[in-house]
Amino acid sequence: MKKNGVLWLAVLLVAVAGVLFFLLRKPATDTLKIGIVQIVEHPALDSAREGFIDLLTENGYVEGENITYQIQNAQGDMATANTIAQKFKNDKLDLILAIATPTAQAMANIIKDKPILITAVTDPVAAGLVTSAERPGTNVTGTNDLQPMEGQFKLAQALVPGVKRVGIIYNAGETNSVTQVNMAREIAAKLGLEIIEATVDTSAGVLQAAQSFIGRVDLIYVPTVNTEVSAFSSVVKVAEENKIPIIAGEENLVAQGALATVGVNYYRLGRQTAEMALRIIKEGAKPETMPIESQKETELVINADVAKALGINVPATLREKATFVQNK
């Protein structure tokens, strides 16, 4: 009898231990699994990724504790982007962050049952990612990087008096690129500027395209186009050697050799995208009803070193509100 009592006590203790283990264990659902993919590696897109992760961390999502990231880079190749999308689908991640138009398209084409946040996408509607910016109607939402292009062209006119011909390099095979060059044509016509275009298929052609502007343009405009931005050092090389000012579509490029911008800050854009992710994660918001957002704030940034090298005297009206940076 005593032996049976000991046996029952042992069984009871094992059962209690099992219940306690079940109650105290950390449920698998506590660990959020997020996939992040970008089309290429360059400072703007890297900053968007960093801003996204930083804001989630500040809101209690700490890698290794309650969140894991799969971070992938397509290296400019759509076949690779599609492979990454299939991997993300197979891994049953909770949420995807797709940085730049091509990778966003790859994710949206393959993953239909998980929220996809996008950023650094100029026109999600033209890219076929959403039905409308106001009501996406798909599992995709996020932020666009539509810069205030008219303001940038007016900035060019203020800093480079007499500018008439503006050179733009673009990739005719990239939706984001085509959208921006079309915008540039319309704005330039309104402001009395002429657009001189050079097309490229890959970043390897950017140097030759920039060289084609020598003697033909007064200024080079670099929009938020992946092909050109990833080879921005080639544009800077030609511009410096030929004293051609560069106006950029985003802040990161100013410290790398552009003269100025009033535009997109990708780190802040990434943080804004993470705020949308939190609404999905914590509040159960649905991407299909979450409007695409634009950056809430822009900033005037001028490279003091480039202005000095070009002999440009920054007008007092701009100097008062500008942030000045130097070449990295």
Condensed to tens digits (0 to 9), the pLDDT of residues 207-263 reads: 999 999 999 999 999 998 888 888 999 999 999 999 999 999 888 899 999 999 998
Convert the pLDDT of each residue in 139-180 to its tens digit: 999 999 887 899 999 999 999 999 999 999 999 988 888 999
In a domain, 25, yes or no: no
pLDDT at 38: 97
Q: Is residue 244 a part of any domain in this protein?
A: yes
Kindly list the distances between the CA atom of residue 179 and the CA atoms of 118, 170, 252, in Å, as whole numbers in the listed order. 17, 10, 21
Quote the mean pLDDT of the chain. 91
Same domain, 209 and 256: yes
Q: Which of 24-28, 62-66, 96-100, 109-113 is predicted least confidently?
A: 24-28
Say yes or no: 52 and 95 in one domain: yes
The 10s digit of each residue's pLDDT in 187-196 is: 999 999 999 9
The Cα 56–Cα 66 span in angstroms is 11
Say if residue 107 is in the same domain as residue 42.
yes
CA distance 88 to 96: 8
The CATH number given to whatever domain includes residue 87 is 3.40.50.2300
Are residues 95 and 232 both part of a single domain?
A: no
Which residue in the block uniquely carries the two structure tokens 């994710």? 107
For residue 195, being part of any structural domain is answered with yes
Q: How many domains does the chain have?
A: 2
Q: Which residue has the higher pLDDT, 2 or 245?
A: 245
pLDDT mean over 4-30: 53
**pTM (predicted TM-score):** 0.76
CB burial readout 73-91, b (16+ within 10 A) else e: bbebeeebbbebbeebbee
Tell me, yes or no, whether 202 and 254 share the same domain.
Answer: yes
What residues form DSSP beta bridges with 323?
301
pLDDT for res 11: 53
Give me the percent of the chain exceeding a pLDDT of 70. Answer: 91
Structural domain range at position 257: 149-263+298-325
Residue 88 lies in a domain: yes
Residue 144 is predicted with a pLDDT of: 94
Q: Tens digits of per-residue pLDDT, 213-222? A: 999 999 999 9
**What's the rounded Cα separation, in Å, for the pair 156 and 194?**
13
CA torsion angle 122 124 129 134 (round to 10): 150
Helix axes 78-90 and 101-110, enclosed angle (nearest 10): 40
Give the model confidence (pLDDT) of 288-303 as tens digits: 999 999 987 788 999 9
pLDDT class of 328 with cuts at 50, 70, 90: confident
